């Protein structure tokens, strides 16, 4: 039975790494001694070791140990034997490329479906959707496919950002970008604002945090879904 937290971001403005969601994580990972951390997305290009230490520092506050997947010889085995898994944010292209390179995709799908508690933030949340086509990241490497874990029946856009009123920048707004996606694809997209997360429990998918989420469906006007809503029918 799936047990996942799919968070828009690791960090909200003015607080430390994972601080805003730490109490939620304490209960999500209760009875877990050690989390397997996947640092592949390398935010700002930092090393796997440095990124793992950042996760270690955060989880030490709730007395949970963290091990980086890159320290294991056999990554598939590390995933299969993990008590819990945390895939951190960074660049989704780099993350997905490395997950394919290490044959980790199927192992991740299997263990999460079988109940290994999962936490994703940002890029680590984007990959929970059907494809990575709605990432905000720059395509700095070319992965073998855009297909991702498909652990929820829609796509995710993390760090969802409302149009900035008064902006004179002519680049596309986030809403325009996702609407363009809807011209070529039929699956729904959930725009998760910073501070929001999805709690997946078996077949249930509940929107958590203080904010609403923006929902994009094929041939429909985008609309808001209030926090506390059930999203499992969205497909």
CB of 218 to a copy of itself, least distance (A): 12
Told to judge if 196 belongs to the known catalytic residues of this protein, a careful annotator would answer no
CA-CA distance, 69 to 49, in Å (whole number)? 10
CA-CA distance, 77 to 182, in Å (whole number)? 37
Closer residue to a copy of itself in complex, CB, 72/146: 146
CB of 206 to a copy of itself, least distance (A): 23
Told to judge if 137 belongs to the known catalytic residues of this protein, a careful annotator would answer yes
Give Cα separations from 39 to 34, 71, 90 (angstroms): 15, 11, 9
CB of 162 to a copy of itself, least distance (A): 10
Closer residue to a copy of itself in complex, CB, 83/175: 175
**Which one of the listed residues 10, 122, 125, 196 is annotated catalytic?**
122
Footprint on this chain of a copy of itself (rule: CB under 8 A): 9, 11-14, 42-45, 90-91, 93-94, 132-142, 145-146, 159, 161, 164, 168-172, 176-185, 194
CB of 62 to a copy of itself, least distance (A): 21
65-68 long-range CB contacts below 8 Å, 24 or more apart?
65/33, 65/34, 65/35, 66/34, 66/35, 66/37, 67/34, 67/35, 67/36, 67/37, 68/37, 68/39
Told to judge if 203 belongs to the known catalytic residues of this protein, a careful annotator would answer no
Closer residue to a copy of itself in complex, CB, 15/65: 15
List active site positions.
122, 137, 159
């Amino acid at each position: 039975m799936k047990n996942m937290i799919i968070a828009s971001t690791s960090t909200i403005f003015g607080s430390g790494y994972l601080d805003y969601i730490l109490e939620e994580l304490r209960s999500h990972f209760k009875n877990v001694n050690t989390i397997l951390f996947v640092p592949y997305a390398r935010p700002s290009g930092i090393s796997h070791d440095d990124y793992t230490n950042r996760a270690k520092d955060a989880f030490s506050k709730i007395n949970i140990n963290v091990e980086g997947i890159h320290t294991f010889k056999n990554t598939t085995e590390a995933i299969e034997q993990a008590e819990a898994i945390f895939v951190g944010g960074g660049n989704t292209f780099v993350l997905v490329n490395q997950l394919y390179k290490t044959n980790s995709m199927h192992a991740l799908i299997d263990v999460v479906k079988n109940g290994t508690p999962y936490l994703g933030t940002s890029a680590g949340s984007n990959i929970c959707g059907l494809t990575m086509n709605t990432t905000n990241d720059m395509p700095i490497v070319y992965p073998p496919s855009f297909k991702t874990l498909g652990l929820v029946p829609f796509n995710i856009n993390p760090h969802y950002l409302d149009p900035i009123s008064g902006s004179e920048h002519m680049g596309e707004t986030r809403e325009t970008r996702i609407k363009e996606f809807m011209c070529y694809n039929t699956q729904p997209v959930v725009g998760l604002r910073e501070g929001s997360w999805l709690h997946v429990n078996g077949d249930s998918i509940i929107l958590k945090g203080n904010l609403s989420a923006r929902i994009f469906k094929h041939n429909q006007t985008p609309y808001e879904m209030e926090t506390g809503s059930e999203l499992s029918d969205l497909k």
